[in-house]
Amino acid sequence: MEYPIVFGILLVATGGSSVACGLYAIQNNIRTPINRVFLALGCAMLFWCLGLAVTVVAANEEICALGRRLAPIGWGTICSMMLHFILLLTKKNNLLKKWWIYLLLYLPSAVTIFAYTYLPLIHLNQDHLIRNELGWLNISQTDAWDWFYYGYCLIFIVIANIIIYLWAKNSTYQNIKKQVKLLMGSLLTASVLGSLTDVMPVFLNIRIPQFSPVFVLFPIAAISYSVKYHGFMRPEAENQNELILNESAYTNVYRYISFIFAAGSIFNLIVQFLLYKEFSSPAVFLFSGALIAITAFIFLINRAKLDDSMKEMLLAAGLSFIIPVVTLWFVHYGGITIWAFIFLLIIICLLFNRRTILITVIVSSILTQLLTWAAMPSAPLKVGEADYIVRIGLIGLATILSFYVNKVYVQRLKENANQISMQMLVSETSHDFVSASAQNFNDKVYGMLKRCGSFIKSDRAYIALFDPDTKHIHYSFEWLAEGMLPQSDLFEEPVSDMQSMLLKQFESRNVVKLYDTALMPPAEKLKNQLIDRDIRALLALPVKKQDTIIGFLAFTAARPLIAWCSESFTYLEVITNIIANAIIKIDAEKEINFIAYHDQLTLLPNRILLKDRMEKAIRRAERTGKMIAVAFLDLDSFKSVNDTMGHELGDQLLFEAAQRLSRSIRSDDTIARFGGDEFVILLNGITRKKDTAKIMDKIIDALRKPVLLNGQKFFISASAGVALYPQDGTDAETLIKNADIAMYNAKTHGKNQYLLCAQDMEDQVPEEYNS
């Protein structure tokens, strides 16, 4: 194969590799300015590589001149775009807001393109082209335009290196420092090597083709490498459910591609031996060996411990070299059909979710066809320009069809993945709420809000539970996406416009959607409230308990609803039902627990709950060194009231007495019904006996006031005994027993009073404790 073809293949492969690196770096995201500039950088590389490739392999001077006009579009803009990219990378946003910076950035590029592309078309700044064994060369003398271009490149490269050096110097992040070392090293390497191959030979009168784009690929590859390992350009995380190929299928695709080239190598040997009897030709073995090397390269990529996107980028770069080699090899030996093998590659590329390989194969194929046309616009086999146009047209049609198939396939996959994710969301929420209780309800709700809010990509998720009659919110919880401020007060006021609107809408629908506040009528009062809070869209669903609305689930974001990550929100209705069922379960558990630990007549704690609280109070008193007091209280002459007026009235009297006793103690104290007309009062945090006396005086006084029942006044009193921890006992049972003894003595001494337990009382155990 001739030297010009080798240079042409190298340049076309460089252009294809720059496409692969660029697509890997931007990760299918061209929404950000830095990604768009990097994509434009890759396009400039394509023009540069194509122009130089056409120039060096051109069959005649006219085609060579065409390549000379194309190349400046690339090498004339590459420095401007690289500096623009570095300004974006180093966060020089304030500088880039000024219009004149773009004039400074791209005016030298425009002048360069004008000088080297336009002026030669009007017979100014003409090239002096000659052809030697290496291909077509320009031997024109260095003029002012050349010096302008050298100065422009030098200044921009120096500025770029200074900017990234200062960026690293002022940064405290090690990641940035690593990025800068890699980028500066690759930029300097590309600049030095590019100068040695494209600039120095001009002054030394050495005649070789230009191929500095090969070295400019270094910083582009460095940026692509940094995307994965240093966090360049912050690519979006992939949803693994959206990938077309699973791990085993992914491996098989690489095997199939390897098999294609291995089979091609064997087929080449067989054909050459059977048809052309050239089995001993070195060229035959060289080409078959190259195909085997390609097979090994793809096999090693498959075996390498790299992420899938990096493997695809390396495979795409490899194919950008393989396509021109295979095509031009067969064209050189008269083959006119082998070029169609790219369709096989395109079909295989459709299996990959990312389009890195697909686009690279298509671009490399078009570049290869243009290169082939430049080298051999006509051939003895009567392959003319029309044939190349047809080939490019077929490639274009294949491109359109492949993009369409890929789009439909990926879209369908996304829908399936979205459906699976919704099902998983509901399943995880359902499984999580199976174990919901009053103690962990907050954790369960937060997990649910986070999952739902993250899934639909809302800014906030909110749940509120209220009393069905008063609409007063008694429970609320809000999840916020990173960087968001809370907005829960929008819903929490009982008379708020938002809550009123939602409740009214819930009467006729199960899902309330506010698609875009910008579309609301100007007179709508709620519109201004939402706009002031940067809420562009809202989604809300009622939480129902037996067809009664007891709350709602709401999501808000600063984007219209159409931009949210879901087309259907019906699955959220299932989640609200899960929440409602969990609330019913928790309410039932609360009721069961209340029944188990409370007296059903007075609604006071029973003996079980009293004992538990006393044990906790004793342990706390041991740690703090404070006392606790246990009062045993009995209503005086209650039996006679019960016998005279009946049990129903007696129960009412007991309930009223319990209410008065509850109001007379502190919030951290406990009063329990011990049995019949007996009550036990636990007083915490007692520091002096005087504190006990004050509280007991208040309790006894509370019962002295008459009780009005059925129009009759009843006068009741109580007697009580008080035992102190630790003086009168160190466990619950002893304290209650001694308090009971003190109460017995209080009744003996005239009732309607209380007595503190003393040692001599503890020794006077009543007969009821001995029986």
Q: What percent of the chain has pLDDT over 70?
A: 85
Checking if the pLDDT of 100 tops 80, the result is yes
Length of the chain: 771
Indicate the average pLDDT of the chain.
Answer: 82
Checking if the pLDDT of 766 tops 50, the result is no
3-state secondary structure 184-223: HHHHHHHHHHHHHHHCHHHHHCCCCCCCCHHHHHHHHHHH
pLDDT of 312-370, one tens digit each?
A: 888 888 888 888 887 887 676 655 656 667 776 777 777 677 788 888 888 988 898 89
Q: How confident is the model at residue 676 (pLDDT cuts 50, 70, 90)?
A: confident
Checking if the pLDDT of 629 tops 90, the result is yes
The answer to whether 81 touches 37, Cβ cutoff 8 Å, is yes
For 735-745, what is the mean pLDDT?
92
Residue 477's alpha-carbon distances to 351, 371, 590, in angstroms, are: 44, 65, 20
For 448-470, what is the mean pLDDT?
85
User: What value does the CA radius of gyration of the chain take, rounded to a whole number of Å?
Assistant: 43
Q: How confident is the model at residue 245 (pLDDT cuts 50, 70, 90)?
A: low
pLDDT of 30-45, one tens digit each?
A: 778 888 888 899 889 9
Give the per-residue pLDDT at 79: 92
Nearest to 330 by CA among 372, 273, 282: 372
Give the per-residue pLDDT at 386: 43
Indicate whether this model's pTM tops 0.75.
Answer: no
Give the per-residue pLDDT at 771: 35
Q: How confident is the model at residue 671 (pLDDT cuts 50, 70, 90)?
A: very high
For 561-570, what is the mean pLDDT?
70
Who wins on pLDDT, 695 or 27? 695
Give the per-residue pLDDT at 411: 66
Who wins on pLDDT, 285 or 764? 285
Least confident of 357-366, 407-416, 656-665: 407-416
pLDDT of 464-510, one tens digit each?
A: 888 877 777 878 888 888 888 887 777 766 546 777 788 888 888 88
Give the per-residue pLDDT at 401: 56
For 658-675, what is the mean pLDDT?
89
Who wins on pLDDT, 754 or 233? 754
Nearest to 57 by CA among 128, 7, 130: 7
CATH 3.30.450.40 fits 435-594, yes or no: yes
Q: How confident is the model at residue 276 (pLDDT cuts 50, 70, 90)?
A: low
CATH 3.40.605.10 fits 598-770, yes or no: no
Q: How confident is the model at residue 390 (pLDDT cuts 50, 70, 90)?
A: very low
For 8-17, what is the mean pLDDT?
91
Pick among 1.20.1070.10, 3.40.250.10, 1.20.200.10, 3.30.300.20: CATH of 1-236: 1.20.1070.10
Give the per-residue pLDDT at 248: 59
User: What residue type is assigned to position 118 of the chain?
Assistant: Y
For 396-406, what is the mean pLDDT?
64
Domain borders along the chain are 1-236, 252-404, 435-594, 598-770
Return d(Cα 734, Cα 723) in angstroms, integer. Answer: 9
Query: Coil, strand, or helix at residue 136?
Result: strand
